[in-house]
Structure 1
């Protein structure tokens, strides 16, 4: 089959949606499918790492993404694809999909957590702008889709709470990662070469955008409190500073007296990124809201335990696997995560590592994601063929 992913931006700094599409490119290839991407990035390096057709149809790398080129492109090209995956909401590519695809070509919508009611509670003024756009664009786009894809039952059940009268065909698809592609020792060496200050020492890992919803400040306060009482390794932050938060967080480490214990590695890709996941004792993600958390699946695929807040939508699945620890998204809850980890015996940590890898294989191997999407469109094509016969 031949798929089109329609997305606002493929810049890695944007976080989950772009990274999810990158993962699926490899998945489709393994399953024997082909894929192209249409994005509202301007021509440039945003997707230079991909060896598939990427159609850059935009003018700017940020914002709503209006582009007069997208709708004509869809009119001319949509017929080439067995189905389109619309990644993300609230931007121009969704409006274009509504106008050019609804009722004409099969498409599904992947909200990537953008329907979580947390956003309405946290940014109430933005809801006033969203309501008319929901009525005119997003609501009709979702209702007219063949399916709306969710990565967990928690996300599926929360989404309708964001806007009254929501109506769509919800489908929960497996989600995750293909896992590390290279040799473990080489990837770990690549990471330590990138962060020579660690000198091969153990560390706890935070991975993801530096953003208020990720609980970064809360993690630092909790780390300082626990490290004063129990032995903790250094803490390494990996991820882009998309919200301009790093300087403030660094000032907080100085105030807390832990500046020498916290390292900032920036955004990592390729072997260096996988080396960070492999070398870390555990991933710590105390987010206030996390639709899925692709970094959780990446850590599990490396056999690395995860310490999560209960606001990570797959936290309960991880806990059932015995692959990590879960507490509330508060300073006290994050302290309990770190305390529990510090008090585990070597044998308990080793057992959790085994459970982490098994959890990824059972629930978060992204080969199943691509197969699920292909199956959805296969059924759609078969149904339309029977209907027209």
Structure 2
């Protein structure tokens, strides 16, 4: 694996002026989960660095799509199963955008094919960000669909890419193992939101889960752990998220059996999400598989420490004292919940400040923007 390093470049001072980047993805609404959040964050970064940006996505009815100045959204209607995302008009949308660089976010769906075809037609730089979708837990599921996609278009997409992008060093290793190409790999994390002011008072003993309702998120273990845990008075578990129709019945059944201290909010956005983050004492993500979870970066920016598994690929949180580790089994999750809610006020405030420091440093919009300016300009050179 050739790993491209982000280096200081005098051209980076010019930002992205004069450069048009198109971000290609499956879903631009909340149906895209953390990938969609990362795409919109990337679009804002490109715009604020002086570049022109277009998002090209599949049309969906997920709602929650921002309408922001300086960001163009082009969509193509899906024909057939949504899981495949076949959209004949996608090629026309890419031709209409006509970017200098095409950046694909997410794999295993039809946009990968059109990204590769665009690269073949134009001979312009094409970049692929798998967003954790080459993680072993993911590749072990839906093997037939992924085998068809791999041989049908993914291998061609990876070969035609000028570079691939990993969010973490762990993901860079997954990319090297699964793609079998010699393409360079850029390792650049997602940027979190700008940090808020530090917490001034101890928060109520509320734990927040924020994300998709999906088997990889391991909510069954979280609910079982909560039911068995030795919890302080006023402890509450708040779950905010959304899921596909296939995943919701099992979750709703488990939720119906949960203690009354578990509150389900459904999908939350904007001020409602910000309020939940600011009120929670801890965020928990007991996942089996992640790329680089935006929910944790949002939590740190709110000064909220986190509980997370190694599959979240953010060891920086543990090292900095902004997070507690847990496993994926219910017993490990229960112990982590009890440890978190026994943390005294002074220790919690130290963890909150450590979370904010991460949001101001490695994962800050300014740091990540500098890395992407250098990367995009390097691809054009």
- TM-score relative to the length of structure 2: 0.86
* Aligned residue in 2 for 1:67: 87
Give the one of 217, 240, 243 matched to 1:241. Answer: 243
Q: How does 1:159-178 map to 2 (within 5 A)?
A: 159-162=175-178, 165-178=180-193
Q: Alpha-carbon deviation of 1:31?
A: 1.9
Alignment RMSD (CA, Å): 2.6
Post-superposition CA distance 1:339-369 (Å, at most 9, x none) = 2112211111111101110112222223333
Give the one of 73, 76, 88 matched to 1:54. Answer: 73
Q: How does 1:1-389 map to 2 (within 5 A)?
A: 1-41=19-59, 47=65, 49-51=67-69, 52-59=71-78, 62-75=82-95, 77-78=97-98, 81-102=99-120, 104-121=123-140, 123=141, 126-162=142-178, 165-179=180-194, 202-227=205-230, 230-231=232-233, 233-256=235-258, 258=259, 260-314=260-314, 316-381=315-380, 383=381
Post-superposition CA distance 1:306-332 (Å, at most 9, x none) = 000122111x11101110101211112
Aligned residues: 358
Distance 1:76 1:239, change over 3 A: closer
Structure 2 unaligned runs (5+)? 1-18
Q: Which has the higher contact order (CA 8 A, sep 6+)?
A: 2
Distance 1:223 1:232, change over 3 A: farther
Q: Alpha-carbon deviation of 1:252?
A: 2.9
Q: Alignment partner of 1:91: what SS?
A: coil
* Aligned residue in 1 for 2:7: none
Structure 1 or 2: larger helix share?
A: 1
Q: Alpha-carbon deviation of 1:14?
A: 2.3
Distance 1:266 1:172, change over 3 A: same
Structure 1 unaligned runs (5+)? 186-199, 384-389
Aligned-partner Cα distance in 2 for 1:43–1:341: 38
Asked if 2 retains the 8 angstrom alpha-carbon contact of 1:74 and 1:100, the reply is yes
Distance 1:246 1:236, change over 3 A: farther
Distance 1:159 1:72, change over 3 A: same
